[in-house]
Chains A and B, each alone.
Chain A
């Protein structure tokens, strides 16, 4: 079945460091891919998305490129800030005959130190 695999956390970085959080997926067909973020004490919210191969999603300095050949959607940011400390979830969505799948990874906690 469809699934999403993320690197385990926690990831601890110093401010202004480069961030990569790996995400790979398994799905039939052509899913859309997403990164969601959950800040402390808040609900999940969309960070960025990509709907087809080679698309790049970007928001708030974060980027991720949909790589069909490696079934990956790694999240990157060139210079993290303390305010980026949160849990990041990779997800995929896919329409199938009669229904619709929207599946999340287990999440990666990021802690950024000043």
Chain B
């Protein structure tokens, strides 16, 4: 079956632009995470969904970051008024349930110029 799909694979934005990153998790997966990964670092937690409920958004770095999963499947991470420090790889991961292994997408590499 299909894995976790993220789009776009690469995104170049001018500073101040808004961007939207899409994640299509594995069908039936309840848990969905967004992470930010800087070069040479580990994934840093951004937010967590259980079905359509956003249970934890404590990792979102500012109110410019917003995530949703309205029907409990596809999720979108939106970044408003992008800044250079937002440049990173954004990873989406899903799992069947809590404490199960995560399946990762290939990530979206965001470059803000």
Which A residues are within 8 Å of any B CB, using their own CB? 6, 32, 34, 36, 43-46, 49, 51, 89, 93, 95, 98-107
Contacts and interface: CB of A to CB of B under 8 A. Distances in A.
Contact of A99 (B35, B42, B48, B107): B48
A107 B41 contact: yes
Interface size class of B (residues with CB under 8 A): 20 to 34
A49 B41 CA distance: 21
Interface of B: 31, 33, 35, 40-45, 48, 50, 55-56, 91, 93, 98-99, 101-102, 104-107
B102 A95 contact: no
22 contacts: A43-B91, A43-B105, A43-B106, A43-B107, A44-B43, A44-B102, A44-B104, A45-B104, A46-B101, A46-B102, A49-B101, A51-B99, A99-B48, A99-B55, A99-B56, A100-B50, A100-B55, A102-B45, A102-B93, A104-B43, A104-B45, A107-B41
B42 A104 contact: yes
A84 to B, nearest CB: 19
A5 to B, nearest CB: 11
Given A98-B55, A100-B50, A100-B55, A34 B101 contact: yes
Nearest to A1: B58
A32 B40 CA distance: 25
Contacts of B48: 99-100, 102
Contacts of A32: 99
Contacts of B99: 32, 51, 93, 95, 100
Contacts of B55: 98-100
A109 to B, nearest CB: 8
Contact of B33 (A51, A89, A102, A107): A102
